[in-house]
Structure 1
Amino acid sequence: MSPRPHFLVLTYPLQGHIAPALRLARRLLAVAPDALVTFSTVAAAHRRMFAEGQDGGDDDDRLELLPFSDGTEGGFSPGGDVAELNAYMASFHASGRRSVGELVDALAARGRPVSRVVYTLLLPWAADIARERGVPSALYWIQPVAVLAIYYHYFHGHAGVVEEHRRDQSFVVELPGLPPLAVGDLPSFLTEATDPSDYFNSVLTTFRDLFDTLDREIPKATVLINAFQELEVTTLAAVGAYDVLPIGPVLPSGDEAGLFKQDDTKYMEWLDTKPAGSVVYVAFGSITVMAKGQLDELLHGLEESGRPYLWVVRKDNKAELADQAAVAEMGDSAARKNGMVVEWCDQVRVLSHAAVGCFVTHCGWNSVLESIACGVPMVGVPRMSDQRMNARLVEHDWRIGVRAEGDGSGVLRAAELRRRVEEVMGDGEAAAEVRCTAAAWKRAVVEALGKGGSSDRNLMAFVESARSGH
């Protein structure tokens, strides 16, 4: 009889990392009925996500939810200075490595030995912990294959040319296996975090450590990708140094825990009252905090579009809208002339609703994948990290959206937002083509995830490798 596979899924405590990691944990349980999964993130995030007494995971004990220590009591709060982020990252790496090692040993002592460690982007030491204990590991890459390829080539001989031209957004960089790319399309950490005084320099250093870790894996590092093969088939060859398995999009299987609490579901009832394909859905993820001037421009653009809209504005941004009528009494949700503002919502439910015709997004990879899976065209408003490259892929490679450009000061003006929304929701031929292409990619997702589809086959192969100990 084959041994029972046990996956330890580890993730950095950001919502954009936690969501795909927890979804993968549940997906592994679904495809392998005999598998065990332990999901782990730092204690502060764990407390926010799971109610007390929920640490046992599921009813039949196949899923456990066990935190590890990052050496802090409250975790890291965005908005601090460079020194605070550097201190947190140092603590996260040192304490996390020690705590996760203890967790792996404790699981083995309880008769639940880990057979495969799976870790997201900012935990390069997880592979070392696994190797020290003779356990295979796999990186779970939660960005596109193209971004993996960019980082790979940056850290393997191409950092110099990027560094030399990092201030010239239009300079074209040639990387093996990729189309010519403007510096402005590259992940922002490669152009804005290279100096030790830069805010995200410790993050870039962690990425460097990550690729050093992958290079030490013998004979080849395994990388699970939250994408599907057909989406980036030509790019996969650009990362041939690794054993890359596209297993996505890994979507939620129902209600899921997260760092943010949802508003009540009145927004779903509101969507029910709108015609098919008429609503503009606007959300910029869990990190971006926008200045008051940008929020005002977005509000004006949405109102002036004349289209109904559902706009997610996190609590930490709501105060910036205080000069708009009745915003001080917004509560959990607020109706506008044409739209509704909420603090957080079930994004996949919203994107799946027939009334939604366009997604104005920061182009975080989870949001892009969810939009593709739901067949919703996008207006990209990228800000940082991989978002700029994601927006390029959406517009130029997959042709399922457009990118909205900021002005000279980086502010997206109301007129530009209106124009771009019309380009994907209007009556013109180009808009119709975008909608048709989005529908085709939605069908491709169904095929990839279905029985015998490319993502299904790759995930099953990964499970079998864990079962066999390879």
Structure 2
Amino acid sequence: MSSPRQHFLVLTFPLQGHIAPALRLARRLHAAAPDALVTFSTTEVAHRRMFPAKPDDGANDDSDEDDGRLEFLPFSDGTEAGYVRSPDPGSFNAYMASFHAAGARSFGQLVDALAARGRPVSRVVYTLMLPWAADVARERGIPSALYWIQPVAVFAIYHHYFHGHAGVVAEHRHDPSFVVELPGLAPQTVADLPSFLTDSTDPSDFFHSIFTTIRDLIETLDKESPKSTVLVNTCQELEVGALAAVGTQAHDVLPVGPVLPSGDDDASIFEQDDDARYMEWLDAKPANSVVYVSFGSLATMAREHLDELLRGLEESGRPYLCVVRKDNKAALLADAETKVDEELKNGVVVEWCDQVRVLSHAAIGCFVTHCGWNSVLESVVAGVPMVCVPRMSDQRTNAQLVVREWRVGVRAKVDDGGVLRAAEVRRCIDKVMGNLDAAAEVRRMAEEWKQVVTKAMGKGGSSDRNLMAFVDGARSAV
């Protein structure tokens, strides 16, 4: 009788910033373990958006390979449409409570169905908003691993916060300049901590359920015996100090990133523009001359913010490519019949672009970013300096890594109303693209880190070795 095959089930929360790194890891596992099965799963709503032309009856066998080794199977969050934005401050927390219950139940049914089909799961890999996935796996005797899609530094902050340091942060959470010292980490102000630890601890807060979910996640990891496995979308060279701060007694932390798409195999839950005229536009620009601007898949901006941003970009005198989500683009138009592109002299505004491809283009000279971790890693890999405009979640800590630890960017200042003014846009772009020595140093460091990270990702590099160690360990457990 043959031994069962390795089978990785990669489970992710239905946000683009979670789906992208989770799917990239699933493909990496698929390539690293040629005999293994891999199943990628997110909610039914997100699954339908990823595969709009494919049937989705809860038992589909969408496969990326002729041999069926990689499958895409959804689980249910208990809703027909997923979370629908609402001004009700309790709406998101109510959705998350329902999601946890329905998701755990549906995920358990998925695991059982795979076993009944002769494809038993041997390892569950889940992203950071799904602590219940580990509980479902444990109940069935299946080992699990957390895939942490933020930097190790943020994981270390959360770990220490929920292991004896919550009090000092809570006491000073309304004092952004207060300096917090956590074991093994560089001192940082309250303003640089993840926003869910300072803005979402009260049950009435809109994102309170994210705070409690992260708390539950840390508690779930503590239950694992002898210790939990945490895969991290980073490389050890980028975060030597933070890795030491986490320690090895409680967690087996394996940096396996940056995990980027290979070729054109990324997937999105957003409508994509197949007309890549922006690439032709970039082809016509000189090397290192274009400012690329994107604030991520969740960002929404008021008309004033957009006006200031575009005015600053225009006044910089440099060509720019700016991504403005479809629902935001309308805010740019005083007259619905006016074409945005006709109002711009130096730049192009698009609703979507292939960010990895854009950042890799020789014409890109800097990236104005919200500092979501995916965007930061993609920029580091491409060797592109950053102008950091963090808003929430891990973005503030990520910006500190970019500016203070790696010295590959500058942090923009917003006014008291949270608006990034045109003059600040111009100043920051010049700080990384201008002719002064400071700008040249930022560009030099960006190129230096590009080489370091490229080596880590390559065959035999630190991240490659860590991923293979995880695969080999999972294989021995089958």
Q: TM-score range by the shorter chain?
A: over 0.9
* 2:146/2:231 contact within 8 Å kept: yes
Cα deviation code 1:219-272 (max 9, x no counterpart) = 110000000010001110111221100000000112221111222200000000
Match of 1:247 in 2: 256
Residues 406, 79 of structure 1: CA spacing in aligned structure 2 closer, same or farther, 3 A cutoff?
A: farther
Task: Find out whether 1:275 has 2:286 as its counterpart.
Answer: yes
Match of 2:147 in 1: 140
Match of 2:401 in 1: 393
Aligned residues: 467
Match of 2:324 in 1: 313
RMSD over equivalenced CA pairs, Å: 1.4
Match of 2:89 in 1: 82
Counterpart residue type for residue 321 of structure 1: L
Task: Find out whether 1:162 has 2:163 as its counterpart.
Answer: no
Residues 425, 17 of structure 1: CA spacing in aligned structure 2 closer, same or farther, 3 A cutoff?
A: same
Task: Find out whether 1:296 has 2:302 as its counterpart.
Answer: no
Residues 269, 326 of structure 1: CA spacing in aligned structure 2 closer, same or farther, 3 A cutoff?
A: farther
Superposed counterparts of 1:330-369, under 5 Å: 330=340, 336-369=344-377
Match of 1:36 in 2: 37
The one of 313, 325, 329 aligned to 2:339: 329
How many angstroms does 1:5 deviate by?
1.3
Match of 1:424 in 2: 432
Residues 75, 326 of structure 1: CA spacing in aligned structure 2 closer, same or farther, 3 A cutoff?
A: closer
Match of 2:270 in 1: 260
Counterpart residue type for residue 7 of structure 1: F
Q: Following the alignment from structure 1 to structure 2, what is the Cα–Cα distance between the partners of residues 327 and 276?
A: 35
* 1:229/1:454 contact within 8 Å kept: yes
How many angstroms does 1:43 deviate by?
0.3
Q: Following the alignment from structure 1 to structure 2, what is the Cα–Cα distance between the partners of residues 84 and 388?
A: 25
Q: Following the alignment from structure 2 to structure 1, what is the Cα–Cα distance between the partners of residues 100 and 389?
A: 32
* 1:3/1:468 contact within 8 Å kept: no
- SS where residue 259 of structure 1 aligns? coil
The one of 379, 400, 425 aligned to 2:387: 379
Cα deviation code 1:59-100 (max 9, x no counterpart) = 220111000000000001345422211221011100000000
- SS where residue 358 of structure 2 aligns? helix
Residues 63, 427 of structure 1: CA spacing in aligned structure 2 closer, same or farther, 3 A cutoff?
A: same
Q: Which segments of 5 or more consecutive residues in structure 2 lack a partner in the other structure?
A: none
How many angstroms does 1:449 deviate by?
1.0
Q: Following the alignment from structure 2 to structure 1, what is the Cα–Cα distance between the partners of residues 423 and 309?
A: 9
Match of 1:15 in 2: 16
Residues 337, 79 of structure 1: CA spacing in aligned structure 2 closer, same or farther, 3 A cutoff?
A: farther
* 2:18/2:127 contact within 8 Å kept: yes
Task: Find out whether 1:68 has 2:75 as its counterpart.
Answer: yes
How many angstroms does 1:326 deviate by?
8.1
Q: Following the alignment from structure 2 to structure 1, what is the Cα–Cα distance between the partners of residues 286 and 3?
A: 53
Q: Following the alignment from structure 1 to structure 2, what is the Cα–Cα distance between the partners of residues 334 and 71?
A: 45
Residues 434, 79 of structure 1: CA spacing in aligned structure 2 closer, same or farther, 3 A cutoff?
A: farther
Match of 1:101 in 2: 108
Superposed counterparts of 1:382-461, under 5 Å: 382-461=390-469
How many angstroms does 1:276 deviate by?
0.2
Cα deviation code 1:350-392 (max 9, x no counterpart) = 0000000000000000000000000000000000000000001
* 2:370/2:395 contact within 8 Å kept: yes
* 1:334/1:342 contact within 8 Å kept: no
Q: Following the alignment from structure 1 to structure 2, what is the Cα–Cα distance between the partners of residues 41 and 91?
A: 16
Residues 327, 39 of structure 1: CA spacing in aligned structure 2 closer, same or farther, 3 A cutoff?
A: farther
Length-normalised TM-score, structure 1:
0.97
Task: Find out whether 1:56 has 2:66 as its counterpart.
Answer: no
Match of 2:181 in 1: 174
Q: Following the alignment from structure 1 to structure 2, what is the Cα–Cα distance between the partners of residues 202 and 279?
A: 40
Decide which moves more: 49-58 or 8-17.
Answer: 49-58
Q: Following the alignment from structure 2 to structure 1, what is the Cα–Cα distance between the partners of residues 155 and 86?
A: 27
Counterpart residue type for residue 36 of structure 2: A
Q: Following the alignment from structure 2 to structure 1, what is the Cα–Cα distance between the partners of residues 138 and 147?
A: 16
Counterpart residue type for residue 271 of structure 2: K
Q: Following the alignment from structure 1 to structure 2, what is the Cα–Cα distance between the partners of residues 6 and 80?
A: 42
* 2:90/2:204 contact within 8 Å kept: no
